[in-house]
């Protein structure tokens, strides 16, 4: 026991962790946004589809069926030495959406990204968060920096609930992606302060 | 006194976290739970298998489960099964994510995250 205190003191305390989801349809720029604000190159894990989301209790069969996997990529932002924020890019293809349920548990909120050229790709993502009452903001990713529609027009066409902010952004730009996240935090703070929508 | 308490705390913690059950639940290991190798390992701990030793080296400092899986290039589900064994053996501790529900969204936490983003 005597020698153990020194090394115990050297091991840093585990930080508190929180997460935000970057969601939206296939190819709308989710991974790009995670990468542009993350302090690390986005990390990626591959989950065999036979196991993902299922209650598999042993490793039998893992070597088989290597082919079908669902990728999850994520980044990290160290807020301070006690608090770390993770950003998870949700798998875009609709057939992988069963994973979203697990991912959404314990999330502070979400960014639903739109590709301004094909907004319909992210309609279902809006439904997902709206149904579950998970706070979200809409980020309109103007591919090539072009933003042909003003935010209000996008809000109307999406029939967004009152209070869901719409932000024009460029997922490739760090500051732009950061500002989308800040908009989400401001929304969360306003509802924490205001309770039932008085904010 | 306080130091030996701290050491004892580190040793009992895994079992405390699993509510006294001997078989830890995989539910402990969400993607952003952080795991840390117990250093030094408890005296009566079984000798880790090579794969387990690989994990233990990666979590000498606290690391999130998702990061561990990415670093090891293994599916999260596989890493979690191995982490359960390590937890049961008293070789790691697990720190759950900050709890987030409608009711527990605390202003202080949100403000810290907001400020951190503002500094980017
Ligand atoms: N020109 C331009 N290209 C972009 C922008 N955002 C993303 N891209 C590109 O669009 C492609 C898709 O972006 P990703 O970030 O991989 O999209 P994703 O939403 O993660 O895609 P999935 O995970 O497959 O659903 C990539 O080739 C990006 O480089 C943008 O703002 N402008
Ligand atoms: Mg992607």
| CATH code for position A183 | 3.40.50.300
Instruction: Tell me how far apart the alpha carbons of residues A170 and B19 are, in angstroms, rounded to a whole number.
Output: 46
Question: Hey, which bits of chain A come out as E strands?
Answer: 16-24, 43-48, 69-80, 83-89, 107-115, 136-141, 166-169
How remote is the CA of residue B9 from the centroid of ligand 1, in Å?
Answer: 47
pLDDT tens over chain A, length 199 residues = 344 444 445 678 899 999 999 999 999 999 999 999 999 999 999 887 765 444 444 444 444 444 567 888 999 999 999 999 999 999 888 778 788 888 999 999 999 999 988 888 999 999 999 999 999 999 999 987 788 888 888 888 888 888 899 999 999 999 999 999 999 999 999 998 876 443 3
Residue B11 has pLDDT above 60, yes or no: no
Instruction: Tell me how far apart the alpha carbons of residues A126 and B89 are, in angstroms, rounded to a whole number.
Output: 43
What residues contact residue A80 under an 8 Å CB cut-off, 6+ apart?
B112, B116
A170 Cβ inside 6 Å of ligand 1:
yes
**What's the total number of domains in chain B?**
1
Residues of A in contact with B109 (CB under 8 A): 16, 18, 83
| B21 vs B42 pLDDT, higher one | B42
- B58-71 pLDDT per residue, tens: 999 999 999 999 99
**Percent of chain B having pLDDT more than 90?**
55
Task: Please state whether A197 falls in left (phi above 0), alpha (psi between -120 and 50) or beta.
Answer: left
**What's the total number of domains in chain A?**
1
Q: Tell me what pLDDT residue B2 has.
A: 39
Instruction: Tell me the average pLDDT across B21-50.
Output: 83
Q: Tell me what pLDDT residue A10 has.
A: 62
Range of the domain at A67: 13-193
Residue with tokens 């932000």: A167
Q: Classify A183 as helix, strand or coil.
A: helix
Q: Tell me what pLDDT residue A18 has.
A: 97
Q: Tell me what pLDDT residue A195 has.
A: 64
Interface predicted TM-score (ipTM): 0.84
Instruction: Tell me how far apart the alpha carbons of residues A37 and A176 are, in angstroms, rounded to a whole number.
Output: 9
What residues contact residue A194 under an 8 Å CB cut-off, 6+ apart?
none
Range of the domain at B110: 3-119
Q: Tell me what pLDDT residue B70 has.
A: 95
Q: Tell me what pLDDT residue A126 has.
A: 93
B57 touches chain A (CB under 8 A): no
First CA to last CA distance, chain B: 43
Q: Tell me what pLDDT residue B103 has.
A: 60
Which B residues in the span 66-95 are in contact with A, Cβ-Cβ below 8 Å? Answer: 66-67, 69-71, 74-78, 81, 93, 95
């Amino acid at each position: 026991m005597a020698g153990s205190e020194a090394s115990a003191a050297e091991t840093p305390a585990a930080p508190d962790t929180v997460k935000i989801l970057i969601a939206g349809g296939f190819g709308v720029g989710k991974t790009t946004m995670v990468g542009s604000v993350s302090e690390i190159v986005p990390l990626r894990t591959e989950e065999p589809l036979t196991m993902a989301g299922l209650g598999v209790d042993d490793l039998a069969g893992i070597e088989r069926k290597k082919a079908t996997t669902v990728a999850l990529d994520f980044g990290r932002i160290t807020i301070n030495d006690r608090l770390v924020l993770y950003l998870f890019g949700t798998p875009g293809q609709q057939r992988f959406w069963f994973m979203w349920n697990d991912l959404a548990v314990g999330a502070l909120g979400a960014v639903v990204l739109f590709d301004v050229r094909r907004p319909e790709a992210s309609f279902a993502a809006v439904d997902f968060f709206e149904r579950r009452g998970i706070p979200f903001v809409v980020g309109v990713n103007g591919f090539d920096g072009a933003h042909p529609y003003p935010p209000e027009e996008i809000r109307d066409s999406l029939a967004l609930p009152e209070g869901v902010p719409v932000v024009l952004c460029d997922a490739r730009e760090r500051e732009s992606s950061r500002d989308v996240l800040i908009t989400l935090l401001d929304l969360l703070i306003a509802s924490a302060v205001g309770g039932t929508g008085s904010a | 006194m306080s130091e030996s308490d701290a050491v004892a705390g580190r040793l009992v913690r895994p079992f405390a976290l699993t509510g006294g059950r001997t078989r830890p639940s995989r539910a402990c290991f969400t993607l952003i739970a952080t795991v840390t190798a117990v250093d030094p390992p408890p005296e009566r701990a079984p000798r880790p298998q090579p794969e387990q030793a690989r994990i233990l080296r990666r979590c000498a400092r606290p690391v999130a489960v998702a990061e561990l899986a990415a670093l090891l290039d293994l599916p999260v589900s596989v890493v979690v099964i191995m982490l359960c064994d390590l937890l049961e053996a008293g070789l790691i501790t697990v720190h759950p994510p900050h709890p987030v529900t409608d009711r527990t969204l605390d202003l202080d936490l949100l403000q810290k995250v907001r400020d951190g983003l503002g500094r980017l």
